[in-house]
Structure 1
Amino acid sequence: MPDGKVKDTENYVKKVINEERAGKPVSRVIFDEYSDVIAITILMFIDQKKKSCHIGTWIGYDYWGKGYNQASKIAILAIALESFV
Structure 2
Amino acid sequence: FIAKDLITVVPLLAAVLWLWGFTAQRQLVIKIAIALAVSLFVSWTMGHLFPHDRPFVENIGYNFLHHAADDSFPSDHGTVIFTFALAFLCWHRL
TM range (shorter): 0.3 to 0.5
> Bigger relative contact order, structure 1 or 2, given CA contacts below 8 A and separation 6+?
2
- TM-score of the superposition, structure 1-length normalised? 0.32
More strand per residue: 1 or 2? 1
Structure with max Cα Rg: 2
**Structure 2 length as normaliser, TM-score?**
0.30
Query: Higher helix fraction: Structure 1 or Structure 2?
Result: 2
